[in-house]
Chains A and B, each alone.
Chain A
């Protein structure tokens, strides 16, 4: 164990990923003292550590699909029952122009420097080409540079473990440095949570839980901590999946489709046409659902058919795939695929706990001000219930930072923290280090993954969910046996416990939604139809007075 640190700051951001860095910029621009507490290092961390390739936006060019209304219509269509249009308008529509300007100002070109035009493509059920394609390999380090230029304090390799409240309002949080073993108690007038979604929760395709589509460092740490602190969560029942190359869970299937490749089964049929009226342009969940069923019914393997693409298109594709996943082109070359006509074997990715659409999130329930139910506590990005994808994390991250700054400006004094609570948490954090024998984080996590995958990864029923909850609850007894031989393992032990706790929340939320929505993201085999009369809205989760997980339903309406 190392030293103890006590820090005070006006606004603290937990998680310096895409959304968190934009929150930090907004709060710092208001002249406040800002701290970013980040598990890795803000230059390269989270979902876009290695790069990114598209930004969704309507641009009001005069086309009928390129308007605020048409965009909100798309949101209503692909995210009905999960996105609140009121929040969408406040965190995205009112912010997106400034977001695009900010990205360009810090040095990332979103448009062609010669023509000044955006290169826009269509995918995932869009009414028009909303996806601005660009080379985002340097977006994360450029955002980090801006955050440092604005004078924010950054603490890296700091894993945040617990939120501290006083009289129901945010007072601060605790964490530890995974390199030094130092313990931190941070007090802040306002806090923004921006720690991404929950990964490593289901069995991955090659057995290695770090070979994932999304960032394996995002493990629901603050979903668990927020829940423990009485914060409401929503959209937690959803399990997200996509189509990835066989062997490597990397994104990019929409880039293939955008370039004119086709998904085919082993009968060489373009099977999407049998499953959805929009075929390959269908919303992501339907592409996944169709592929899942093709494989299950024995028509796999499935392939991305690139045989008909021109040499120029193939070269463009191989280059741009590397914007989103830097090492994917290397993988294809090493696997023996070349630029000559080729069929690339694909599969359905591991499930993860995350948002059911491109335009909402899964986690801390926020209102139009990005505020949670705990005064002073805000959320942004994938860890909120309403934001997801680059466009919302950049625009909405900034909105959350502005709101947190306003709250901090109105707050005179730091709220006190309970030193006994901090001491108990410190003891809990470091306990696994003292154990000579016990269970490793890897083994514990494997058990969680077997339970989740068997019982709700992704198809589920009342009985499968109850059984999962039984097993996941029993695993609590093993917490005291978890051991860590060093600080790196200590971090993994805490992640493993957090993944388990989020899995319980997910199963409980899924039990409450007795219908199917966005299959396979929430597919109930015992309730296979979508029931808009009863379930068009959010399942809201909160810790009950007895420590039990409680749920309530909050309807959402769609006029567009």
Chain B
């Protein structure tokens, strides 16, 4: 499910949460919570703005499979 965060690379800066236009990502103390993956628009803002390259975008099977 989009986006997927690599906890080893993430520095907990919170930019992906702040910049998501769809309110999908929530920054918690212990890490990034991609709370509403079904509401992702795949705009790529989180990935573009992540300072550490911790965000990968994955597409659900329905998008790739049809």
Contacts and interface: CB of A to CB of B under 8 A. Distances in A.
Interface of A: 40-41, 43-46, 49-51, 137, 141, 156-157, 178, 205-208, 210-212, 215-217, 246-248, 250, 325-327, 330-331, 334-335, 488, 491
Given A207-B62, A208-B62, A247-B63, A216 B23 contact: no
A44 B63 CA distance: 24
Contact of B43 (A50, A246, A247): A50
B45 A247 contact: no
Given A216-B22, A246-B66, A248-B59, A327 B39 contact: no
Contacts of B59: 247-248, 330-331, 334
B42 A44 contact: no
8 contacts: A43-B18, A45-B21, A208-B62, A217-B23, A325-B44, A327-B2, A327-B57, A488-B35
Given A40-B23, A44-B19, A137 B62 contact: no
Contacts of B43: 44, 49-50, 215, 325-327
Nearest to B57: A327
A359 B22 CA distance: 27
A51 B47 CA distance: 12
A141 B40 CA distance: 19
Secondary structure call for the B interface: loop
Interface string B22-46: 1100000000000110111111110
Interface of B: 2, 18-23, 35-36, 38-45, 47-49, 57, 59-60, 62-66
Given A206-B62, A207-B62, A211-B63, A248 B21 contact: no
Most chain A Cβ neighbours within 10 Å, of B21, B36, B38, B39: B21
Nearest to B2: A327
Classify the interface of chain A: helix, strand, loop or mixed: loop
Contact of A44 (B2, B45, B62): B45
Given A46-B21, A325-B42, 20 more contacts: A41-B21, A44-B19, A44-B20, A49-B21, A50-B43, A137-B48, A208-B62, A210-B38, A211-B63, A212-B41, A217-B41, A247-B62, A247-B64, A250-B42, A327-B42, A327-B44, A327-B57, A330-B59, A331-B42, A331-B59
B18 A41 contact: yes
Given A44-B20, A334-B59, A491-B23, A326 B66 contact: no
Contacts of A41: 18-21
A127 B43 CA distance: 32
Chain A to chain B: the 9 pairs with minimum beta-carbon distance, closest first: A326-B44, A50-B43, A44-B45, A44-B19, A40-B21, A247-B63, A49-B21, A45-B21, A327-B44
